[in-house]
Amino acid sequence: MIALLFVFACYLLGLLLVLRGWYRSIEVPLPERVSPTDVTVLIAFRDEVQNLPALVADLKKQQHAPREVILIDDHSADGSFALAERLTQDDARFRILRLPQGEGKKQAIAYGVSQATTAWICMTDADGRLPATWLSALQPQLASRPAMVIGPVYLPVPRTFLQRLQRVEWASLQAVTFATAALGRPVMCNGANLAFTQQAFVHARGYAGNEHIPSGDDEFLMRSIGDAGLRVAFCNDVSAAVITAPQSSLSALWHQRIRWASKWKHNRSRLAKRLAVGMLGFQVAYVVAVVMVCAGSTHASVLFALLGCKWVMEAIVLGAVAAHHGHRLDVAAFAAWQLLYPFYVVGVGLFSWAFTYTWKGRQPGKG
């Protein structure tokens, strides 16, 4: 009981810090007018025939027009390169390049950075949808001269219960992303909405040391830039939010999360590792507490109070994130997530350590 009380107390304190950081992240005053910053939009893609038409259309509608858009084909086998050329042939700002040597998203991004002609590079994914205000909303933060800017990424309005569950989880990821950034210790970011300077990329040596890891092009770069003593800023403006597609099946969701979790064992950040281990440990403690309550423990009333505090605090945090994006917390999905999440976290954590995965036909260490 003492151990459970300690673990729950630490977790609830962490939730309070997240809530404080979240509100701080959305209350950052921004200048009304800034001098426009020229940017290069950089997108590495592989087998994206289904997504390229919408992506190119979104890029052409940007209120703040980029000086150039560089699309780097990472050895697509579905005709993506030819399609990208056809879609952009009427716009001289687009440059469609093939990765000349090597393979993998990190290598494609590094090559694109070397080809950029502007100081600032705004990066997104080929399967994302970009609001017309994306680049213009990032402008105030770019003008503040950091080395990197973390932008928001959200899921679209869900159509299935699985998508509703993902939206709840995604809100928690965004809460931690911007709360830790606002508190000056960023531990997460998403490559679907990331901006950095070419100089910072070079100074931080890009992806040196983790080129063989397919995932983590975003967080590894963020950490390298931070470790180099450069400033990492954030933009938690709804107008800058990139919409990314949810996973369509349990299998796809499971494999994506294993791929994401696999990069943590290569993480050099002590804070990030402690958070990962702490979250895994708390989920185990949560399951133990639930089992003790169901088994009629003599401490059931205390345990139930702890569980109630957890549910309420998490609902407050996730509700704040949902409200920032103009909708309410999905109570049914949130309740289901309370039952599923502990087993999900423990399972993903164990599988990411014990097993490998395949992503777009590739395995870790094989490109």
Q: Is residue 202 located within the same domain as residue 284?
A: no
Residue 260 included in any domain: no
Which residues of the chain fall below pLDDT 50? Answer: 365-367
Nearest to 45 by CA among 111, 92, 89: 111
The structure's pTM equals: 0.89
Q: Is residue 142 located within the same domain as residue 285?
A: no
| Alpha-helical runs (H) found in the chain | 2-26, 52-60, 80-88, 105-115, 134-143, 161-182, 198-203, 217-227, 250-262, 270-294, 300-324, 331-354
Distances (CA, A) of 40 to 18, 67, 170, 181, 274: 33, 6, 28, 24, 35
Q: Is residue 154 located within the same domain as residue 230?
A: yes
- For the residues of 49-79, what is the DSSP string, one character each? TTTHHHHHHHHHT-SS--SEEEEEE-S-SSS
Q: Is residue 95 located within the same domain as residue 53?
A: yes
Q: Is residue 87 located within the same domain as residue 226?
A: yes
Q: Is residue 57 located within the same domain as residue 143?
A: yes
Number of domains comprising the chain: 2
Distances (CA, A) of 192 to 42, 124, 155: 10, 4, 12
Q: Is residue 218 located within the same domain as residue 284?
A: no
Q: Is residue 6 located within the same domain as residue 36?
A: no
Q: Is residue 314 located within the same domain as residue 347?
A: yes
Single-letter amino acid, residue 209: G
Q: Is residue 187 located within the same domain as residue 305?
A: no
Q: Is residue 147 located within the same domain as residue 240?
A: yes
Residue 217 included in any domain: yes
Domain that holds residue 170: 31-248
Q: pLDDT value at position 367?
A: 39
Q: pLDDT value at position 269?
A: 66
Q: Is residue 194 located within the same domain as residue 335?
A: no
